[in-house]
Amino acid sequence: MEKKVTISVKGSPPVEIRAQGLNGLKALRALSMDNMERMAAIKINGEIKDLSAEINSSAELEPVYIDSQEGLQILRHSAAHVMAEAVRELFPGTKVTIGPAIKNGFYYDFDYERAFEANDLPKIEKRMAEIIEEDLPFIRNEIPHSEAIDFFRSEGEPYKVELIEELSEEAITMYRQGNFTDLCRGPHLPSTGKIRAFQLTHVAGAYWRGDERNAMLSRIYGVAFADRESLNAHLKNLEEARKRDHRVLGRKLDLFTIRDDVGPGMVIFHPNGAMLRRIIEEFEIKEHLKRGYELATGPQLLKTELWKKSGHFDHYREHMYFTSIEDQSYGVKPMNCLAHMLIYSSKVRSYRELPKRYFELGTVHRHERSGVLHGLIRVRQFTQDDAHILCTPEQLKVEIQNILDFVRDIMAIFGFDYDLEISTRPKKSIGTDVDWQKATKALIDSVEEYNLPYQINQGEGAFYGPKIDVMLKDALERSWQCATIQCDFALPERFDLTYVGPDGEKHRPAMIHRVILGSIERFLGVLIEHYAGAFPLWLAPVQAIIFTITDRNIPYGEDLLETLSGAGIRAGKDFRNEKLSFKVREAQMKKIPYMLVVGDKEMETGNVTTRLRDGRNLPPMSPKEVVDRIRDESKNRR
C-alpha cells in the first residue's frame, strides 16, 4: 500500500500527500505556499533543513525565507562556499580552512603561497558572479568518517582532514556545488543562483584557529543580502562607518595616539582626549554617588597568592601580567574585584549595613593578542567604571533592577538604544551548580519582571558567574558590548565574606560585579563613532573658540577668553594672523560647537558674533548672553 504522510504549515489545514520522493520543496508546493522564489530552506518539526531534505513521516513545516535572519545566515554561508570555489579555481594550490557566516556577511580563511590582497578581490568577485549565474545546485552528501578523510587528503586539503579527525560522528556531511566540495553541516540554499546581492569587502590576516603559533592565513571578507537594495544600504553604512572610524577621527580631532614605540594597546591621550575622558569620569562619579555608591581604590599589583585564591590564576592567567618583587610573585590586576572584597572583609558587617556598593574608576591591564587590538575598542591598559555590590540574597533582585535602571538612565543621556543578552555557565568555571542556578535565576527573574526582552548566550558567562551583557546600538545600528551585570556566589565563598544576620548568625552575601559604560577607552571609541566626532556641547573638549580679525582685537579677545574660562566654559583661542574663513574652516573640521568672532565692530558694541559648527550664524550677543547660552545648553546635556 502506498505510504502517505500528513504535512501542514502552522495556521493552515493539514494535507495528506504521497511520501515517495517527497522533499521540502515539493511539500511546500503541495501546500500552495506563496513566494516560493524567496525560500532559502525549510523547518521540519522545528529543525532547519535544505529544501531538498526528504520527508518520510508526517510533519509540521515552516518555510525559511531568504530575507529572514535564519535565511540570511544560510545565504551568507552559501556565498562563502561560492567564494572558496572561485578562489581555488583562480589560485591553484590554495588550501581552504573554514568559511562561516557572520553578521551581515561571511569570510573564508585560505592558505596560499602569498597573502591575498585587495586587488585580488575584483577577479574573485567576477568568478563568483559567473558561478552564481550558472545556478549550480548545492548537493548534500553523507559519507563514512574514513572516506571523508581519504577524500580531503586526495584533494590536498590538510586543514579539512584535521577538522574531520577531531569529529566523533561516524558519518560526515559534505556539500558540493560545481567542482567544489566542502566539509559542512549545512543547510544551504537550493542553488548558487539564489545569491543575488553580494560584494567582497576586504582582506586580513588570521591565524589558523586563532592561535599565533599556527600558520598565518589570508581571510577574505564579504557581505551578502537578499536583494540589491539592502546591499546598497549596507555598503552606504560601511562608507559612513569608515568616515566615523574613531582611529581616524582621533588623529583629526587630536584626541589620542597609539604608538608602536610605546607598545600596542597602550593609549596616549592628548589634551583634548584627556579632557573628554575627564568629563566622562566626573559625570560617572556624580551619577554613582547620588545612587548610594562609595568610592574605593585598589592597588595595581596584588600578590599572586590572592589571584590563586580568587581563581583568576587558574582560569584567567593567560590574560594577566606577572612580575616579581623581592622574590615575591605579584599579578597586575585585570579586574578590580579583589580589593573591593578585601575592603568588605576588613571588619565585621551587619545585615543592616547592606547593600555595600563600592565604585572605582579602576585601571586594569589584560594581555590581549596583538591581532585583536583595535584602536580604543580593544586595548591592553584601560579603565573600568567598576563596581561591586555585596548584599543579602534577598536584596539581589532589587539591586540588579537598580542597575538596569542606572543603565537605562545613562544610555538615554548618550542617545543609545540597547539589547540585553544573558550569558550562562561556561565549561571553565568555579562554584557549585546550585550557586550558578541561583545566580542565573536572579538575572533572568530581574529582567523578566521588568518585561525586558533578552537572548540567552549558552556557556558565555564569566568563570565565576552568569552575566547580563548590554549591547548598545549606535547611530549606524551597530552593536557594541559595554555594560555588564554579573551575579556571583563563588568569590564570596572563596574569600569567606560574611554578614551577621538578624538571627545573630553569620551568613554569606551575594556579590554583583557590574560596569555601566565598561571600559572608558572602549566607550570613548564608541562615542566618537556614534557622534562622528561632533560631540554634544556638554561633552565637547573645546566648547568655544575665539577668533580675532586683526591684532588690535586681541586684547578684547583675551578679555572674552577670561570671561568664558572664569564661567567654567572650556574655551580656546585662535589669534593668528590668518584669514577668518581659514580659521572657521579649521574649527569646523575640529568640530568645535561655538565659534566666537571679535573684530572692530564687536569691540565698539561690546558684543560677540557667534557662528555654530553647523554653519548657522546667531544674532550678535553680549559676552554674558554667550555664557548663559552655553551654560544652559551644557546643563541640559545638549
Interval 225-259: pLDDT, tens = 999 999 999 999 889 999 999 999 999 999 999 99
Q: Cβ distance 474 to 442 under 8 Å?
A: no
3-state secondary structure 250-262: HHHCCCEECCCCC
pLDDT averaged over the chain? Answer: 92
536-564 pLDDT tens trace: 999 999 999 999 999 999 999 999 999 99
Look up 366 and say whether it is catalytic.
yes
Tell me whether residue 337 is one of the annotated catalytic residues: yes
**Does 31 have pLDDT greater than 80?**
no
Q: Exactly one of 384, 395, 486, 543 is catalytic; name it.
A: 384
Instruction: Identify the pLDDT of residue 459.
Output: 87
The residues facing 137 across adjacent strands are 191
Q: Does the N-terminal peptide bond of residue 63 adopt cis geometry, omega within 30 degrees of 0? A: no
Q: Which of 365, 366, 425, 570 is catalytic?
A: 366
Options 88, 234, 288, 513, the catalytic residue: 513
CATH of domain 4-65: 3.10.20.30
User: Whole-angstrom Cα distance, residue 477 to residue 617?
Assistant: 32
pLDDT at 203 over 60: yes
In this prediction, residue 431 has a pLDDT band, given cuts at 50, 70 and 90, of confident
* CA dist., res. 6 & res. 27, Å (int): 10
> What confidence score (pLDDT) does residue 358 get?
98
- Longest Cα–Cα distance in the chain: 106
Instruction: Select which of 109, 182, 386, 574 is catalytic.
Output: 386
Which residues are 594's β-sheet partners?
A: 544, 612
% of the chain exceeding 70 in pLDDT: 99
Render pLDDT for 386-427 as a digit per residue (tens, 0 to 9).
999 999 999 999 999 999 999 999 999 999 999 999 999 988
Instruction: Convert the pLDDT of each residue in 566-609 to its tens digit.
Output: 999 999 999 999 999 999 999 999 999 999 999 999 999 999 99
Q: What is the mean pLDDT of residues 36-54?
A: 89
| pLDDT score of 55 more than 70 | yes
Q: Cα angle at 355 between 353 and 360, to 5 degrees?
A: 110
Question: Is 588 in the active site?
Answer: no
Q: Which residues contact 281 (CB under 8 A, 6 or more apart)?
A: 361, 383, 520
Burial class (CB in 10 A: 0-12, 13-18, 19+), 617: exposed
Would you state the cell numbers that stand for residue 483, as one nine-digit string?
A: 555594560
pLDDT reading at 57 higher than 90: no
Length of the chain: 638
- 164-192 as b/e, with b when 16 or more CB fall inside 10 Å? beeeeeeebebbbbbebbbbbebbbbbbb
Instruction: Examine the residue annotation and report whether 467 is marked as an active-site residue of this protein.
Output: yes
326: left (phi over 0), alpha (psi -120 to 50) or beta: left
pLDDT value at position 476? 85
Beta carbons of 365 and 334 less than 8 angstroms apart: yes
Question: Per-residue pLDDT for 32 more than 70?
Answer: yes
HEC profile of 505-540? CEECCEEEEEEEEEEHHHHHHHHHHHCCCCCCCCCC
What pLDDT does residue 36 have? Answer: 82
Instruction: Tell me 352's DSSP state.
Output: G
Separation of alpha carbons 462 and 189, rounded Å: 37
Q: Kind and range of the H or E element at 56?
A: none
340 is catalytic: no
Cβ contact 631:569 at 8 Å:
yes
Candidates 81, 388, 425, 590; catalytic one: 388
Which one is catalytic: 76, 277, 467, 583? Answer: 467
Domains of the chain, by residue range, sit at 4-65, 70-243, 264-298+349-530, 544-635
CATH architecture of 70-243: 2-Layer Sandwich (3.30)
- Topology of the domain covering 264-298+349-530: BirA Bifunctional Protein; domain 2 (3.30.930)
209: CB partners within 8 A, 6+ apart: none
pLDDT band at 430 (very low <50, low <70, confident <90, very high): confident
Helices (H), 44-120: 69-90
Of 145-159, 341-355, 368-382, 539-553, give the lowest mean pLDDT range. Answer: 368-382
CATH architecture of 544-635: 3-Layer(aba) Sandwich (3.40)
**Residue 461 confidence class, pLDDT cut points 50, 70, 90:** confident
> Per-residue pLDDT for 2 more than 70?
no
Active site residue 77: no
Active-site residue (options: 88, 182, 246, 337): 337
User: Coil, strand or helix: which one is 93?
Assistant: coil
Beta bridge partners of 480: 472
Q: Is the dihedral of CA 442, 443, 446, 451 positive or negative?
A: negative
pLDDT in tens, 17-26: 787 778 788 8
Q: Where are the beta strands (DSSP E) in 208-242?
A: 216-225
Annotation marks residue 487 as catalytic: no
The answer, yes or no, to whether residue 1 has pLDDT greater than 60, is no
Cell numbers for 487 = 551575579
Strand partners, 360: 386
